[in-house]
Structure 1
Amino acid sequence: MDTLHHLPLAEIDPHALLRDRTQLDPEALAQLQLSIATEGLRLPIEVWQLSTPRDGFTHGLISGLRRLTACRELGHQTIPALLRTPASIPDAMAAMVSENENRSDISPWEKGTLILNTIEEGHFDTPDTAIAVLFPAVSRFTRARIRSHTMVVQALDGLLTAPHDFSTRQLDAIAAALTGGHEDLLIATLQPVARSGAETQWSTLQPVLMDIAREPTNPKTGRPRRMLQLRQGLTIRREPTPTGWVLRFSGPEAKKGGLVDDVLDRVEQWFQKG
């Protein structure tokens, strides 16, 4: 059964779940502060107990970001909070997601991250279960899309500098490549531009994704081969160009100048016989 508590503000993590990215309106926040200061807080916030306390936080915020912010700026030490039980958490989170969807556009990356956050906290067992509860009104196609974007977040989180700037179609293309078994290739492609902006990262990924879409890898033959990783510390990736192919060498072994000379010698032997 959900119970009402007065929790220390310092123990509530306002960012435990992703929510809309709109900035709090200063005027509306000032009016809310005045209302709380004169009449008290009429509606408690909603929280859940974190499975593992982190950074001093013991509870995560489900709804009530504006109320929480206003009370903090008023200098309150505690706040009335409805502690959701495992049985009621899914419905409370679904209501929060629905409210955010109506207020602003949540990026595909944020939706995938939200799904993974709820699973990590133990609220849902699988992405499919989380999506069904948090996004009950969407079509089967949209659910499958959110599931594929969740897979992208799981595989590439930390490599994309500004993942929120990637469009739905861009994440669709990345998800298709991951489904085809090319996670290592995408990671190797992104690593050299890990600190670049979204535009540079996409322009680096795009030819690789187009090549995968144009000629999927045959699961029986493993061809075409798009990457070779050797234990000696050498990675070779092929990349299509308008006029042919580029081979990109990376890793400690690639820094040795003689490597490229050896490759050129071998190619010369193949094509200049006799």
Structure 2
Amino acid sequence: MHDIHHIPLSQIDENALPRDRTAVDATALSDLSLSIAAHGLRMPIEVFAANCDTGHQYGLISGFRRLAAHRDLGLPTIPAFLRTPADGASAMASMIEENEIRADITPWERARITLTAIDAGLFATLDEAIPRLFPTYDKTRRSRLRAIAEVVAHFGDHALTDPRGLSQQKLMRLATNLRAGMGDVMTLALQESSDKSPAVQWSLLSSIMDDAEAEARAPRLQYKKGQPRYATRVQDDLTVRRERTKDGWNLVFTGKTAKGPLMEDIMDYVEDNFGRRQG
């Protein structure tokens, strides 16, 4: 049985390890604080002796929300188990294992913490990191996590407004299309869109993937070399992207010169080369 230590909050560094939970629900944290105020802490946090220059004696392994609740309540100490992980990689594995049981970690967050561990120098590659951080995962789950990590690495933290809200199915679809070479087109569509709401962003990405997946299913069409092109930047301030719809196709023009006169010029070109000019 491990002894429980009552450690001053000022001595604990909650950022000693990269965290897999990138956001804390304010309502859930408030509920936890009320519960602790009424009944005390039911499960101690886990810490390790820190060897760092931050002035803290301990680094947090698990219990991020419990520690945050204690800080909100202004409590001076918190019950904690003192662990002795073999190294930083083992400490991270313990943190992830505890959160897998207690917290609703999203697929995006699992992949992101894996990449963060690599960036921190704890592992060299995804193939090394995943089995160490998620030892209970079978081959299929490891393969999915690796694919989603490729999505996180491609889009980063800023391209998508709410990546944590993407389901595993959506992330796997993105991974498949990234591997098919659609990454640059999807990034371009997100950058050029003024509407950054999650629903609109997914609609943009979905239309691009619909197009690419339909091309892959279709009989081999006769394209010129280097085609089909899904998007092109024809000028520094003008981008054209094709978009498949239920009834046909759209060409989406974005940029400073994408104005009414340009659209008239394009209509003239289409009529001259593919039909009959009206008027």
Check the 8 A contact 1:47/1:62 in 2, yes or no.
no
C-alpha separation in 2, matches of 1:253 and 1:60 = 54
Q: Which moved more, 1:181-190 or 1:24-33?
A: 24-33
Shift in Å, 1:17: 0.8
Which residue pairs with 1:123 in the alignment?
122
Change (3 A) 1:43 1:174: closer
Which residue pairs with 2:134 in the alignment?
135
Which residue pairs with 1:98 in the alignment?
97
1:17-67 deviation digits (Å, cap 9, x = unpaired): 12395734235533446x9xxxxx9876137667x98xx999863324256
Check the 8 A contact 2:17/2:59 in 1, yes or no.
yes
C-alpha separation in 2, matches of 1:102 and 1:240 = 42
Matched, 1:200 2:195: no
One-letter code of the match for 2:244? P
Shift in Å, 1:6: 8.2
Check the 8 A contact 1:45/1:67 in 2, yes or no.
no
Shift in Å, 1:167: 0.9
Shift in Å, 1:224: 1.6
One-letter code of the match for 1:265? D
Matched, 1:26 2:33: yes
Which residue pairs with 1:271 in the alignment?
274
C-alpha separation in 1, matches of 2:183 and 2:45 = 46
One-letter code of the match for 2:170? Q
Change (3 A) 1:48 1:14: closer
C-alpha separation in 1, matches of 2:49 and 2:273 = 68
C-alpha separation in 2, matches of 1:225 and 1:82 = 58
Shift in Å, 1:140: 1.4
Which residue pairs with 2:4 in the alignment?
none
User: The residue matched to 1:151 in structure 2 has which SS?
Assistant: helix
C-alpha separation in 2, matches of 1:84 and 1:7 = 19
Which residue pairs with 1:17 in the alignment?
19
One-letter code of the match for 2:229? R
One-letter code of the match for 1:111? R
Any residues of structure 2 matched to 1:16-55 within 5 Å, and which? Answer: 16-19=18-21, 23-24=28-29, 25-30=32-37, 31-32=39-40, 45-46=47-48
One-letter code of the match for 2:167? S
CA RMSD of aligned residues (A): 3.9
Change (3 A) 1:70 1:189: closer
Q: Which one of 232, 238, 247 corresponds to residue 234 of structure 1?
A: 238
Identity, in percent, stands at 34
User: The residue matched to 2:258 in structure 1 has which SS?
Assistant: helix
Aligned length: 260
Shift in Å, 1:79: 9.8
Which residue pairs with 1:147 in the alignment?
146
Which residue pairs with 2:247 in the alignment?
243
Which residue pairs with 2:3 in the alignment?
none
Matched, 1:76 2:76: yes
Change (3 A) 1:70 1:270: closer
Check the 8 A contact 1:238/1:246 in 2, yes or no.
yes
Shift in Å, 1:262: 2.0
User: The residue matched to 1:252 in structure 2 has which SS?
Assistant: coil
Shift in Å, 1:131: 1.0
User: The residue matched to 2:257 in structure 1 has which SS?
Assistant: helix
- Scaled by the length of structure 1, the TM-score of the pair is 0.77
Which residue pairs with 2:62 in the alignment?
63
Check the 8 A contact 2:20/2:105 in 1, yes or no.
no
User: The residue matched to 1:178 in structure 2 has which SS?
Assistant: helix
